[in-house]
Amino acid sequence: MNMPLQGLLTLNAGSSSIKFSVFVPETLEQLLVGELDAIGKQTVLKAKKSNEVPLRHDWPQGEAPQTHGLALAFLIDWIQEQLDGIQVVAVGHRVVHGGQQYDQPVLVNEEVLQRLVELEPLAPLHQPHNVAGIRAALSVFPDVPQIACFDTAFHCHQPFVKDCFALPRALYDEGVRRYGFHGLSYEYIAGRLAQDFPLHASGRVIIAHLGNGASMCGMVNGHSVTSTMGFSALDGLPMGTRCGQLDPGVLLYLLQDRGMTAQEISDLLYKESGLKGISGISNDMRTLQASDDPAAKDAIDYFIYRLKREIGALTAALEGLDCIVFTGGIGENSEMIRRRALRDLGWLGVELDERANADGATILSTPRSRVLCLRLPTNEEQMIVQHMQSLLDAQAALMTES
């Protein structure tokens, strides 16, 4: 009797989308990949099977799932239909925040799940959806391993001075410290660099993960040593709806003088700020680039200004720079953002190849540039499934030994 084909399912629940993939164990051949995007708005599901056949699901007006919970329930049922004859043997989840405890992927049990729930206030746009994804998968696949892979893990064990705030030490000991995020993306790019650009991978690298959520990471020899995001996913660069770096005095003013509640301030910082707040138009960089409204230009100008400022700060922290990598939705697709950022970095030894950048090439810099500039697509799902396979192999080895 033939055994059914097995699959490893990955779920990556973001603030407005859910990405997913199914891989064959051991070979990690991809059977299915897709994304359910614009949840709560004009939700659409796009996917592709290994035979390159594109799949799409559109809902009639007013019938699309309006919450992550409903979207997850629909998506898992839909995936099962597409995987007719394929047995899911493990589910891997991107989890944004692992706190102090989780510096590597873990098998999820009720204790782990409860700890992830406790971290929800530190990543309110993502962590609740990550937890919801785990619960949804547990209800459909109750007897298969659920594996949590953490965005914060890549940044663990940084030097104290790059990990702390100038607050009383007791708060640091309690966990008020810099965590950094987008770690799965950075880890994937670090692997690509080691494979394709080993000389630069061993040096001082800045990776700019630019999307609706945006951050930057400074690496030395493939290891994170500093990043723009800190205690929460609010810090650093301005994002689609998040403010980025902010004087804490603004929060005191909003609380004490404007009489805003904690929830109102949270909604302001997480949902109404960033590109959306500055422009008053949209959180989507594509929409802003297509607009002739001066406010859209203001939002783009501020984004680029902060991007260049953070490159300078990270270069100082790294004590030099050998390579810059652009990734994420904006980093991979916006020729204009890359051009305007890199064109002004001549003082760092950057020389942009305008044609290569316009063509979306991998190498964006000229041969004369002292800093190698790259455009590399990220793949968090690939990183998740690699961690899943490693953890499952380790579990199997332990069982064999016992």
The answer to whether residue 151 is catalytic is: yes
Task: Read off the pLDDT of residues 61-118 as tens digits, 9 standing for 90 and up.
Answer: 888 888 877 888 888 888 888 887 788 999 999 999 999 999 999 999 999 999 999 9
Q: Would you state the pLDDT for residue 316?
A: 97
Residue 159 pLDDT: 87
Over range 33-45, report the average pLDDT.
Answer: 84
Euclidean distance between CA atoms 7 and 383, whole angstroms: 16
Contact between 28 and 110 under an 8 Å Cβ cutoff? The reply is no
Tell me which DSSP letter residue 120 carries.
G
Residue 2 in this model has a pLDDT that exceeds 70: no
Write out the H or E segment, with its range, that includes residue 185.
helix 183-196
Provide the 8-state DSSP code for 314: H
The C-alpha atoms of residue 242 and residue 213 are separated, in whole angstroms, by 8
pLDDT tens-digit profile of 117-161? 999 988 888 899 899 889 988 988 899 999 999 999 999 988 899
pLDDT band, very low/low/confident/very high, at 1 (cuts 50, 70, 90): very low
Per residue in 285-310, pLDDT (tens digit) is 999 999 999 999 999 999 999 999 99
Domains parsed from the chain with CATH numbers = 5-150 (3.30.420.40), 199-375 (3.30.420.40)
Q: How big is the chain by its Cα radius of gyration, in Å?
A: 21
DSSP 103: S
* pLDDT, tens digit (0-9, with 9 covering 90-100), for 295-350: 999 999 999 999 999 999 999 999 999 999 999 999 999 999 999 999 999 999 99
Q: How far apart are CA 356 and CA 197, in angstroms?
A: 18
Tell me: the pLDDT tens digits for 390-401? 999 998 888 777
Structure confidence at residue 228 (pLDDT):
97
> Dihedral of CA 306/311/312/317: which sign?
positive
| pLDDT surpasses 90 at 402 | no
Residue 2 has φ and ψ, to the nearest 5°, of -75, 135
Helices assigned H by DSSP within 11-158: 68-82, 110-118, 127-140
Pick from 131, 53, 140, 66: nearest CA to 96 = 131
Residue 48 has φ and ψ, to the nearest 5°, of -150, 135
Burial class of residue 344, CB neighbours in 10 A (0-12, 13-18, 19+): middle
Which candidate in 143, 151, 163, 247 is catalytic?
A: 151
